Amino acid sequence: MTRIDAKFAELNAQGKKAFVSYVMAGDPDFDTSLELVKGLPGAGVDVIELGLPFTDPMADGPTIQLAGQRALEAGMTLDRTLELATEFRKEDNTTPIVLMGYYNPIYSRGVETFLSQAKAAGIDGLIVVDLPPEEDDELCIPAQQAGLNFIRLATPTTDDNRLPRVLQNTSGFVYYVSITGITGAAEAEATDVGPEVARIKAATDLPVIVGFGINTPAKSQAIASVADGAVVGSAIVSQIGAGKPVGEVLEFVKSLSDGAHAA
């Protein structure tokens, strides 16, 4: 059982929904980013999605693209991202970390080497948005053999013919993308999301967590009420991009997590 599996079992036993937060590793710099990540569990975050900075983030809107650029300009690399996770693990050995990014840096490192290093750093799961199920032998299967969850995205365009293939080797949880488009492009609506979550849950026992388009405590609560939890990324990253102090960002995160947990 991974930390992700254990966390969802704990939440389920408590009758609680999950709150998942996304931040870009190294944004705006290593030290500030580490301080922020260390503060996330205390702000009510159940699972941390840690963005791996990359030059060509095809699924991300301007807010997260700019975060990646800030991190890269501050010297963030794959090694430094894993170092950040390692530093976090010195104080917290229970909060799951999901590394979210693109395949190119992993491919360049070499899958076997990367998985060994990620496991040693305390990474629990991967979301690699540009690797479809047809490429499961590339990273998904080796990751799960190494003890890491491989979390797949389902979208409004994942129809009933495609869904079984998407779910086939998914573990940890299913990430449902609430909108068609990039991160931060539109707002999620519970009336649209609810039936889609129900459709996915009819095909899997995994928790279904909804992300994209969630930017307020009320929206976090509304979406979590029709799913197993909510993910917020761009709204948090925009606060970092505006130069707000870590304490203020964490207060905002706490308001979002309170929303999800009230569902």
pLDDT category, 47, cuts 50, 70, 90?
very high
Which string of b and e fits 203-227 if b means at least 16 CB within 10 Å?
ebebbbbbbbbbbebebbbbbbbbb
User: What pLDDT, on a 0 to 100 scale, did the predictor assign at position 107?
Assistant: 97
Active site residues: 49, 60
pLDDT tens digits, one per residue of 88-147? 999 999 999 999 999 999 999 999 999 999 999 999 999 999 999 999 999 999 999 999
Closest listed residue to residue 62, CA positions, set 238, 240, 220:
238
Under a CB-based contact definition with an 8 Å cutoff, are residues 12 and 209 in contact?
no
Rounded CA separation 116/46 (Å): 24
User: What pLDDT, on a 0 to 100 scale, did the predictor assign at position 181?
Assistant: 63
Could you give the angle at the alpha carbon of 76 between the alpha carbons of 5 and 71, nearest 5°? 90
User: What pLDDT, on a 0 to 100 scale, did the predictor assign at position 4?
Assistant: 98
To the question of domain 3-261 being in CATH 3.20.20.70, the answer is yes
Rounded CA separation 240/238 (Å): 5
pLDDT tens digits, one per residue of 160-209? 999 999 999 999 999 999 877 655 556 778 888 999 999 999 999 999 99
Under a CB-based contact definition with an 8 Å cutoff, are residues 248 and 240 in contact?
no
Q: Where are the domains of the chain?
A: 3-261
Q: Compare 212 and 110 and report the one with higher pLDDT.
A: 110
Rg (CA), the chain: 17
User: What pLDDT, on a 0 to 100 scale, did the predictor assign at position 213?
Assistant: 86
Dihedral angle sign, alpha carbons of residues 164, 165, 167, 171: positive
pLDDT at 17 over 80: yes
Q: DSSP letters of 111-178?
A: HHHHHHHHHHHT--EEEETT--GGGTTTTHHHHHHTT-EEPPEE-TT--TTTHHHHHTT--S-EEEE-
User: What pLDDT, on a 0 to 100 scale, did the predictor assign at position 186?
Assistant: 64
* Cβ burial, residue 1 (10 Å; 0-12/13-18/19+): exposed
High-pLDDT (> 90) share of the chain, %: 90
User: What pLDDT, on a 0 to 100 scale, did the predictor assign at position 60?
Assistant: 84
Residue with tokens 């979390």, as numbered in its chain: 151
Under a CB-based contact definition with an 8 Å cutoff, are residues 140 and 131 in contact?
yes
Rounded CA separation 43/50 (Å): 16
Residue with tokens 């979208």, as numbered in its chain: 155
Q: What is the mean pLDDT of residues 210-216?
A: 92
pLDDT category, 59, cuts 50, 70, 90?
confident
Closest listed residue to residue 27, CA positions, set 92, 75, 62:
75
Rounded CA separation 253/165 (Å): 34
The least confident of 59-68, 184-193, 234-243 is 184-193
